[in-house]
A = this chain, B = another copy of it.
Amino acid sequence: MSRVVKLAVIPGDGIGPEVIAEAEKVLDAAAAGSGIRFEKSRFSLGAGRFLDTGDTLTADDLEAIKAHDAILLGAVGGVPGDPRLKNANIERGMLLKLRFELDHYVNLRPSKLYPGVPGPLAAPGDIDFVVVREGTEGPYVGNGGSIRTGTPHEVANETSVNTAFGVERVVRYAFDLAERRRKKLTLVHKTNVLVHAGGIWKRLVDEVALEHPDVTVDYVHVDAATIYLVTNPSRFDVIVTDNLFGDILTDLAGAVTGGIGLAASGNINPDGAFPSMFEPVHGSAPDIAGQQKADPTAAILSVSLLLDHLGLQDEARRVTTAVEEDLAARGSDAGATRTTTQIGDAIVARLQA
């Protein structure tokens, strides 16, 4: 069997290119012998592109990217405070634009504390859950504005938009995932305050739950969820939540499982209408860019999510196992610091062993 997968690679800014270089090596090593060939095209997008050309994401970029089967993204964002980027919102103009235009309604963010990985919690317990974050609605829609801007009478509004269509599909995805895991689903929201936005989430979780009698469902307010993440993270299996709460919870979850240097994510269009996009949760970290200091593990684990999405479950698992072994081995040589490339090479070597 031979199959060609068209992969759009967006290395991005800062440490993006460094971690993506390692992720690509791992992808190639994992796919070797699988009959899959990756046909890659590289896209220069992010703060660097904006500074060079004034463009964030053009209609042509978008059309070209859409012609691919999947996307691998490093990180985007310039040096904080760079005056030339004052009016460029790379996040909204490029990253969120891709998520919205490609209808990435599932933002999949697994959190697992791998053996041997040091974290901030004194007694973390077993941490192994997945946040299914909605990716195309909520407070992220950009439905806001202000009047009398810059005056003492300014009023600035920002509207969270939640549709039954949008909430139901991501809730269904989360239930299906829970069926394949420990059969526990937690809705996180703030229904006691955001009664309308919260109400539609609660209703649809309750409705879809009827079709999944074997999945245990509970509800936790977002504020309480942050407490559980540091006092009892093992209580979670699948968390389903909106775009903003998912953003907050997954950074915290990344921190409690050893840092966002390890946190992978998939921006998924489960219908396959558009290519899904895989990226580390971390940012572009311009302060350490080009110094071979970045940990490529989050990018490499994103490759595992990519392989899984392409139906290559065995290959995905082999990548995760290689990472797991590498992480376990780090404990013993905690003193030694490896370069970005050395970590990538070590994981490739384990894959090929």
Chain A residues packing against B (C-beta within 8 Å) = 89, 91-92, 96, 119-123, 139-140, 142, 144-146, 148-165, 168, 190, 192-197, 199-200, 203, 222-224, 226-227, 229-231, 244, 247-248, 250-252, 254-256, 259-260
A157 touches B146 (CB 8 A): no
18 residue pairs A–B, Cβ–Cβ below 8 Å? A96-B193, A121-B122, A121-B230, A139-B193, A144-B196, A150-B203, A152-B164, A155-B163, A156-B197, A156-B200, A157-B160, A159-B160, A160-B160, A226-B251, A226-B255, A229-B252, A230-B255, A248-B248
A196 touches B146 (CB 8 A): yes
Q: Which single residue of chain B is at the shortest CB-CB distance from A142? A: B195
Determine the chain B residues whose CB is within 8 A of the CB of A248 once the complex forms. Answer: 222-223, 226, 248
B142 touches A165 (CB 8 A): no
Least distance between A282 CB and chain B CB atoms (Å) = 10
A157 touches B153 (CB 8 A): no
Determine the chain B residues whose CB is within 8 A of the CB of A247 once the complex forms. Answer: 190, 193, 222-223
Determine the chain B residues whose CB is within 8 A of the CB of A250 once the complex forms. Answer: 223
Complex-state Cα separation, A119 to B231, whole angstroms: 9
Least distance between A329 CB and chain B CB atoms (Å) = 22
Beyond A153-B165, A156-B161, A159-B160, list 9 extra A-B contacts (CB 8 Å).
Answer: A89-B192, A89-B195, A120-B121, A150-B203, A158-B159, A158-B197, A226-B226, A226-B252, A230-B256
Least distance between A244 CB and chain B CB atoms (Å) = 7
B197 touches A157 (CB 8 A): yes
Contact of A152 among B122, B140, B168 (CB under 8 A): B168
Determine the chain B residues whose CB is within 8 A of the CB of A192 once the complex forms. Answer: 89, 91-92
Query: Which of A121, A165, A192, A196 has the most chain B CB within a 10 Å cutoff?
Result: A196
